[in-house]
Structure 1
């Protein structure tokens, strides 16, 4: 039963990944969309990073450790890219930066390339998780999440619309840095809840969860609803609203999971303190 379920999941998500790749190759080679080569470049960059981490950290060849390390690299790279793009725009004058036409029909300098590169990462990560079976359940949320992002990002890149909106959603990668740091830290065996570094990590985890993930996604959703009448008829608005609804639901689930993890570590710390006193 378990093997059958796993094979069914793998077959479905692998098929969608192959269809995605075929669609991308068609756009690049038949429609001559050479700018989309940056998506392929992203795939190769993160797959190469995976191989290098596996080579240099030979004592940590656990696929989950390697996958999380590459995810940390993506969060660092994407966060830096988004901050650079937004800072550059703010320096050039923020007037009209968040107008509907600017967010939907235009693309800030380097925004298309940053989104393409990140899209390549999600394709790589989907493949890596399928290859090493780094998921659980009939409907793995992580695979569904990656599939939804691939669809939204790729359609936006094909039609060259809502690029800036999607760049704004990637601000959440700033919070993902600390999620991945925590995961890598625990897999490396560092679990002292009394450590100053661990406490600082938790502080930054919570701050960025609210400032870089929850608040931006709520504001983007509000902006979409406010400007709904400005969208032309088509799939852009429904797809954007569904995508943001999914992101906000995932944020609620993530917040609950973080709170549970925080309480577990606090409980473990108090238990160890009580044990030493005895």
Structure 2
């Protein structure tokens, strides 16, 4: 019964989101929002291709993780491209000013955010379809729903686009999260392997720099510039969203540390058995 209620709630919110998006595209002639649908279609196509090229029935979790890895690679590359292009064209002067982050839109930032928004809609549907979640209140589904709401409202109002692009720097760390998951699914678990050691090194570095530190800095910037926001939902939603992200980052850091210790402990146990 609990599972049915979870599916019913999140499926309904996804349908309402799609209806809202379709209304804006069809009746408000916001054709640039088609990039959101293009993103969903792109990642669903990637999902289908991965399934097609496997000769035997494929684990839905493996396919979902592989597509998530693709999204992280595409998004982080897009964010680096956007920031680098802006930096080279206009320099760092004024790049992170409040007006630029809230009211401005860097070249390709709207398209990149739309494409990523489409991914979260696809991923929400894929997880509901194959029940790739746990619990009565699945954190991953709640996370996707919050991102869909925040991203879509920003795209509708064409505000805080650049702020949201900065938050997507964390996808650089997500690459190594998904690589680790795929690696373990493939049965590669030797903690002493050079590849595994490099993966863990990059995992920790990108977690600390691209996820933890960057989100803290964005939160500090929001708080410092709070008085510059006009009355409305932008500041409360931004602060609420960043508070949620920072809490998730702390939880993720704890989970990473536990996983790292487990792999080390497992490797030591295997080493002792080998020498007995």
TM-score, normalised to structure 2's length?
0.99
Regions of 4+ moved over 6 Å = none
Q: Report the secondary structure of 2:232's partner residue.
A: coil
Q: Report the secondary structure of 2:80's partner residue.
A: helix
Unmatched tracts of structure 2, length 5 or more = none
Q: Deviations for 1:194-222, whole angstroms, at most 9, x for unmatched residues?
A: 11101100000000000100000000000
Inter-CA distance 85–237: structure 2 relative to 1 (3 Å threshold): same
Q: Distance in 1 between matches of 2:55 and 2:35?
A: 30
Of the candidates 234, 248, 253, which is equivalent to residue 251 of structure 2? Answer: 253
Q: Deviations for 1:204-250, whole angstroms, at most 9, x for unmatched residues?
A: 00000001000000000000000000000000000000000000000
* Shift in Å, 1:59: 3.9
* Shift in Å, 1:57: 2.6
Question: What is the correspondence of 1:11-50 to structure 2 with a 5 Å cutoff?
Answer: 11-50=8-47
Question: What is the correspondence of 1:73-222 to structure 2 with a 5 Å cutoff?
Answer: 73-92=70-89, 93-222=91-220
**Alignment check: 8 A CA contact 1:60 1:66 kept:** no
- Count residues with an aligned counterpart: 275
* Shift in Å, 1:56: 1.0
Match of 2:64 in 1: 67
Pairwise CA RMSD of aligned residues? 0.6
Q: Deviations for 1:82-102, whole angstroms, at most 9, x for unmatched residues?
A: 000000011111110000000
* Shift in Å, 1:155: 0.1
* Shift in Å, 1:191: 1.0
Q: Deviations for 1:51-80, whole angstroms, at most 9, x for unmatched residues?
A: 001111334610000000000000000000
**Alignment check: 8 A CA contact 1:193 1:199 kept:** yes
Q: Distance in 2 between matches of 1:13 and 1:87?
A: 37
Inter-CA distance 48–30: structure 2 relative to 1 (3 Å threshold): same
TM-score, normalised to structure 1's length?
0.98
Of the candidates 263, 266, 271, which is equivalent to residue 265 of structure 1? Answer: 263
